[in-house]
Structure 1
């Protein structure tokens, strides 16, 4: 089926139950590489991405400008820690819904996450989520969510051979996901209830508890697509 629209999936706690494993591996990797004074108030950061948070804590601890060559060493160490933790499982119904979009709709898919690349791929693999590596974008190259989502959308255009998508829906569980979608002028579907009060405070139009409660016609109606 020709793809005319696009859905952009966040990964952690949108498709995979991985927030705890991710944060544990992230902090352990920093500590093991000499970053011990860590600001764990994640919502206090201007950009909610692994690369930006790592940069700020690196500069906080070593009192010097972030050395980009440190990123690959950190990613390797974080991957080691992640693999030592219990495996990631899917958010209820996530694997089925990804297959649904690919096989039964005119929506292309891509993945945009604030995680670094290797940990992101491991979480998708452990949760048995079908994904296309060519349309995954992460914080390994970018500091901001806007850059990550924009790059993921561009990758999807190239992969699916689409000059412009008619409609783009971003899906995420965090308030930063909603704000990114607003900044980029695309639709947003919120998932899970942990940030529901924040979502409502910012006027979210469509929200689901998990993928088992997903009704795509209802979502599109709420977003004004149909």
Structure 2
């Protein structure tokens, strides 16, 4: 059976959720817009491109894709500046990706972040950069981002996948997997999210990647 593993980035592989939100808020304000709402679930799609467009078009009528590209560049610069204080991987993430590679299990990244900030985070944490990376720079919806990661992986690894397993740290990640009919493994310590996932009968949830054998067993449990 041919299996692909698709990882979200912020909060799933890199400990950068708060950093990203702070930077996003600051750049919104620098554009003369209201800041990021503390309740991100209110946005239609939990992606950088959609959230920025929703906020921008609610207050201005001159939207263009060039404005989005300018915002992405400013966001990347702001995030990179915050790297001076150091950023960390989610514990064990790098080793786990290396373990997947050693086991011959292909993987990819699919993130609601714009491309440049996502690439910077992966690079700064020393995570592999030679695998497909699908981002919100190309799509507004998470489903399209994940589908793109799968399609690019088929080209990269020269195979079709009979099973795709998504790793994520947010309710939007599990919903995306469900909408696409894909398997899901959660990475979180949030008690509210743990409870919500339990109610949804999501069986495999881990705090981090400290026990790679247990997580590999979870991945293997989706094999026939």
| Both structures adopt the same fold (TM-score exceeding 0.5) | yes
| 1:4–1:106 CA contact under 8 A, matched in 2 | no
Q: Is it true that 1:90 corresponds to 2:89 in the alignment?
A: yes
Q: Which residue number in structure 2 is paired with residue 143 of structure 1?
A: 140
Quote how far apart the aligned CAs of 1:21 are: 0.9
On the 8 A contact 1:91/1:211 being kept in 2, the answer is yes
In 1, distance between residues paired with 2:120 and 2:222? 35
SS in 2 for 1:211: coil
TM-superposed deviation, 1:37: 5.3
Mapping of 1:201-212 within 5 angstroms?
Answer: 201-212=199-210
Query: Does the Cα contact within 8 Å between 2:169 and 2:188 map onto a contact in 1?
Result: yes
Where 1:212 maps in the other structure, the secondary structure is coil
Offset of 1:13 from its aligned partner? 0.7
Shift of 1:44: 1.4
Runs of at least 5 residues in structure 2 that lack an aligned partner in the other structure: none
Cα distance in structure 1, aligned partners of 2:65 and 2:219: 41
1:177 pairs with 2:176: no
- The equivalent residue for 1:132 is 130
Structure 1 equivalent of residue 17 of structure 2: 19
Q: TM-score, normalised by structure 2?
A: 0.92
The 8 Å contact of residues 79 and 118 in structure 1, kept in 2 or not, is answered as: yes
Q: Match of 1:110, SS?
A: strand
2:59 — aligned with what? Answer: 61
CA distance in 2, matches of 1:12, 1:49: 12
Q: Provide TM-score, normalisation by structure 1.
A: 0.91
**How far 1:90 moved relative to its partner?**
0.5
Are the aligned partners of 1:5 and 1:106 in contact in 2 as well (CA < 8 Å)? no
The question of 1:156 aligning with 2:128 is answered no
Match of 1:219 in 2: 218
Q: Which residue of 2 aligns with 1:99?
A: 98
Which blocks of at least 5 consecutive residues in structure 1 are unaligned? none
* C-alpha separation in 1, matches of 2:86 and 2:92: 17
Conservation of the 8 A alpha-carbon contact between 2:25 and 2:35: no
